[in-house]
Structure 1
């Protein structure tokens, strides 16, 4: 059935985009070097009377909770959280685990897409989809640059069903060492990784196209 094959191929292309996006998120959320840079550059530890090393220990404990299904309770050495903050971090954890699931599943479909195109000598098909995709990160980055605060709020309203992400520094001191500038850098890093991924697949497609000439 021709229509079934077309649906299958369309899903594989969708899977490729989702794989690149979810992989970008995986790399970004685990870029501990970026947080360390901010901790040193902005002297974040001093804001809560902690050394940089002690602050990083707490950050690793937070990441362990968010990343690993078997870590069911958030426990940081020097921070306690209000009930609403715990709900928010639980929501973030669910999003992290969903991203990992998408990355794994679409990794399988992307492998079969790559294998099929390489077998049929059709890797050149990457050219048009990647040329189109290359415009997406710059457009989103431009929107973000106009008003990052508004973009940040809009981003949270899309992802979360409540306002628990609005932390009160008096009750949730962790927010003091998670500044907006750090999250802005995370977005920039994600755009760079995603743009590089699109460019890589575009180069693969162009190389395959040149080999056919």
Structure 2
């Protein structure tokens, strides 16, 4: 009996972890594609290029970073040295990996949650989801305390080279993406994660309540 209970609890944590991975990868994908709303167009760039030219180059960058068959980064207006191209290529690999994770985790989470629902065991996901949400909040709080320092440490962790250190004179595109820009994106990413997680939690509580109500009605009918 204890073995079956442990297996059910373990399965519930696995389901929640897969759902959490799907939520995180979805939030990252949404954040990247909403990033043009937060791009800065400083006066230093507008002296030489129009806002339309700068926005067009940022869209070309996003296409290169996210679309597998766009294999060359070509900016129409802004110059881009070899080091910056190498860094964007490394970022592209990370974002394409996230898209691959999203394509696997999302349908897998859907299938696993559906199986839990058919078994009438959605309620078992509530406690693990609360634990996961608490862990995410605790980890997310650390970068928010000093985002610029955390942002630099993240680059040292993810990239083995120093190509991420841009020179604004040779790679002026960096002026469109200051540290404050990435801080806003991180806040957006965190907000989307919390929103999706909260909606999932509310849905689980609602479905569990419906199941409990149906079981109660069944018992009343028998009595």
State the partner residue of 1:62. Answer: 61
**Number of aligned residue pairs:** 206
State the partner residue of 2:123. Answer: 124
Describe the superposition over 1:14-57 as per-residue Cα deviations: whole angstroms up to 9, x where unpaired.
3222111111110001104523xx43xxxx15321233222111
State the partner residue of 2:217. Answer: none
Separation (CA, whole Å) in 1 of partners of 2:30 and 2:128: 23
Describe the superposition over 1:74-111 as per-residue Cα deviations: whole angstroms up to 9, x where unpaired.
11111121211111000000011100000001112112
5+ residue gaps, structure 1, are none
State the partner residue of 1:206. Answer: 205
1:47 and 2:54 correspond: no
State the partner residue of 2:31. Answer: 28
Give the stretch that moved more between structures: 198-207 or 89-98.
198-207
1:38-187 alignment runs, 5 A limit: 38-39=39-40, 44-49=41-46, 50-187=49-186
Match of 2:18 among 12, 15, 18: 15
Residues 133 and 198 of structure 1 are in contact (CA less than 8 Å); yes or no, is this contact kept in structure 2? no
Separation (CA, whole Å) in 1 of partners of 2:102 and 2:198: 19
5+ residue gaps, structure 2, are 214-223
Deviation at 1:210, TM superposition (A): 2.2
Separation (CA, whole Å) in 2 of partners of 1:137 and 1:12: 16
Give the TM-score taking structure 2 as reference length.
0.83
State the partner residue of 2:221. Answer: none
Describe the superposition over 1:180-199 as per-residue Cα deviations: whole angstroms up to 9, x where unpaired.
11100000000000011111
Separation (CA, whole Å) in 1 of partners of 2:7 and 2:154: 35
Question: Computing the radius of gyration over CA atoms, which structure comes out larger, 1 or 2?
Answer: 2
Give the stretch that moved more between structures: 144-153 or 87-96.
144-153
Deviation at 1:133, TM superposition (A): 2.3
Residues 31 and 185 of structure 2 are in contact (CA less than 8 Å); yes or no, is this contact kept in structure 1? yes
Q: What is the root-mean-square deviation in Å for CA atoms of aligned residues?
A: 2.3
Deviation at 1:166, TM superposition (A): 0.8
SS in 2 for 1:69: coil
Residues 86 and 163 of structure 2 are in contact (CA less than 8 Å); yes or no, is this contact kept in structure 1? yes
